[in-house]
Structure 1
C-alpha cells in the first residue's frame, strides 16, 4: 500500500467515501454517524430491517459532506480511497454535546475539535495508516483554526483488540502523537487532548 495523499472529504469526494465504506457503511451500517446523531435515532437506523438498515445514517453523512462541512479526511492508495478519520469541531458531534459520560472538560468549547473515528480496510491495518491519518487530522484541525484537539480512545494496555472495538483509536496511539491522556472527571473514560497552539 502506497499512500499518495490524505484529503478532506469535500463534496466531490462523496462517491469515494461511499465506495470505501461499502454496502454496510464501514462498521455495521454506521456510516460514521454514531457521534453525529442522537442515540435514539442512530439505534433506530441500525436496528431496522434491510434494505432500510443504516439508510438514515448514510443520509446524515451524505448531507454533511455535500453541504461542504468536511466530516473527515480520506486516505488514498493511488486513486483508490483506503482509509478514513472523522475530525470536526466538537460542537458538530451531537452525541458528545448531549453526553454525560463525555461532557466537555474545557469550560471554553470554542476552538475544540474532536477525532472520533478511524476506519481502515483489512489490508491497510497494522501498517501505520492510522498514525498517518491522525497526523493529518492534527494538521487539518490546526489549519482550520482549532485550539485543542480531543479524542476518546480505548486503553488496550498495550495489547491488541479487534478493530471494531478500537475505532476511536488507542491511548497508546494518541500518546505517541503527543496527546495528554487522562480520565474524564465524571465517567473515568480515557480522554486525549492536544493543545494545537503549542504542539
Structure 2
C-alpha cells in the first residue's frame, strides 16, 4: 500500500471521510471545533455538508490520506484562531504565537493499523508549515497503555504525536472518553545555525 497525503480540497473526498452515509443525517462533518457551538447546533442534515462545501471555497480544511485515488484518512488542521480552541477554557494557551491546531484524525475502517494516522500527522505538519504556522498544536488523549474507543480516539493519541516529534507543552482540564487530554506542540520555525 502506497499512501499519499494531500491537502483536503475536494468536497467528495472530504465527505467520504467525515460525511454521513445518509445525506439527511446530522453528523459532525468535523465542524464541532471549527465553528461556534451556536452555529454548529442549529445546522441539520444537508445544511452541514453545504457549509463544508462553502468553507472549501476558501481553501483546504486539512489533509487527506489516499491509497491510490481512494481517500482513506482525514486530519483537520487550521489556525487555532479560526477554531473554537481560540476560546476554549479547558485547553490553555501556552503563549501568544499564532499557532495552528490539528484536532481530528480519522482513518477509514479496513485501513486502520497500517500507520495511516502517523502519515496524517506528518501531512498535517507539512500543511501547517506551508501555511506559515510557527507551531502546530494537538490535544490528544493521554491514554498510556489503556484501550480507547475508536469513535472517541478522533483527537489522536499522545504516543502518535510524540512519534512525530511533538512535545508535551501543558496539561489540560479536558477529558475525552475518560482519558485526560494534553497539549502537545511541534515547533515548525526554521532552526537557526550558529555563525562560524
Does the pair score TM above 0.5?
yes
Assess if the C-alpha contact under 8 Å between 1:154 and 1:170 holds in 2. yes
Q: Which residue of 1 aligns with 2:93?
A: 104
Gaps of 5+ in 2: 175-179, 192-196
Could you say what secondary structure the match of 1:17 adopts?
helix
Q: TM-score, normalised by structure 2?
A: 0.83
Decide whether aligned partners of structure 1 residues 122 and 105 sit closer, same or farther in structure 2, where only a CA change above 3 A counts.
same
- Which structure dedicates a bigger proportion of its chain to strand? 2
Richer in helix (by share) = 1
- 1:89 lines up with 2:79 in the alignment: yes
Q: Look up the SS of the partner of 1:167 in the other structure.
A: helix
Distance 1:185 1:77, change over 3 A: closer
What do you get for the CA RMSD once the two structures are aligned? 2.4
TM-score (norm 1): 0.82
The residue that corresponds to 1:8 in the other structure is 7
Matched residue, 1:18: 15
What residue number does 2:189 align with? 197
- Give the superposition deviation at 1:42: 2.5
Q: How many residues align?
A: 184
Residue 52 of structure 2 is aligned to residue 61 of structure 1: yes
Looking at structure 2, the residues matched to 97 and 88 of structure 1 have their Cα atoms a distance apart, in angstroms, of 11
In the aligned structure 2, how far is the partner of 1:31 from the partner of 1:118?
A: 13
Q: Distance in 1 between matches of 2:146 and 2:172?
A: 25
Displacement of 1:20: 3.5
- Equivalent position SS for 1:123: coil
Structure-to-structure mapping, 1:1-199, within 5 angstroms: 1-3=1-3, 5-10=4-9, 13-24=10-21, 29-45=27-43, 52-53=44-45, 55-68=46-59, 70-93=60-83, 95-106=84-95, 108-110=96-98, 112-184=99-171, 189-197=181-189
In 2, Cα distance between the equivalents of 1:109 and 1:21? 29
Q: Equivalents in 1 of 2:88, 2:94: separation in Å? A: 12
Counterpart Cα distance in 2 of 1:67 and 1:183: 32
Which deviations, in whole Å up to 9, do the C-alpha atoms of 1:56-104 show, x marking residues without a partner?
Answer: 4333322111222x211111111111111111111111x2122111242
Q: Once structures 1 and 2 are overlaid, which stretch shifts more, 36-45 or 179-188?
A: 179-188
CA distance, structure 1, for counterparts of residue 89 and residue 27 of structure 2:
25
1:139 deviates by 1.6
**Partners of 1:115 and 1:73 in 2: CA distance:** 10
